Amino acid sequence: MANGLAAAAGGIGALVAADQISLGSLRQSLIGNVQGAIGIQQSMIGNRIAAANLRQSVVANRLAAYSANSDLASFPYLRLNDLANAIQGVSTWVQNTCPRAPSGDDSKNNATTPGQ
């Protein structure tokens, strides 16, 4: 529109007030479009930052899931180790507390020799 008015006979100086007002509003709309584009650009940057944060959250969730899986997988082995330690403790207590059983037949070990 502006090019058409500038190309008219007499150029921009020959424009009537109504044409100048329309050019002014055209300029204001162009400024509004530029400002709107800046707002869109900022929202696009914000969306990219949000997408990066989302990716980081996904990675963090996957790491946490791996850690939880590792903890759950190691649980039976830890309980088995605890059980082995408890059995070893009972075995040590029995060896230190209970007398050793005599070997062989009991009647032979308790029998008195003739002449006693």
Q: Where are the domains of the chain?
A: 2-94
pLDDT tens for residues 40-67?
Answer: 888 888 888 999 999 999 999 988 888 8
Mean per-residue pLDDT, 28-44: 78
Q: Of 87 and 115, which is predicted with more confidence? A: 87
Q: Quick one: pLDDT at residue 56?
A: 92
Structural contact between residues 8 and 14, judged by C-beta atoms closer than 8 angstroms: yes
**Is residue 33 very low, low, confident or very high in pLDDT (cuts 50, 70, 90)?**
confident
Task: Quote the pTM value.
Answer: 0.34
Q: Quick one: pLDDT at residue 22?
A: 67
**Is it the case that residue 34 has pLDDT exceeding 60?**
yes
**Is it the case that residue 115 has pLDDT exceeding 90?**
no
Q: DSSP for 41-103?
A: HHHHHHHHHHHHHHHHHHHHHHHHHHHHHHHHHHHHHHHHHHHHHHHHHHHHHHHHHSPPPPS
Structural contact between residues 11 and 4, judged by C-beta atoms closer than 8 angstroms: no
How many Cβ atoms sit within 10 Å of the Cβ of residue 22?
15
Q: Quickly tell me which residue has 């709107």 as its tokens.
A: 36
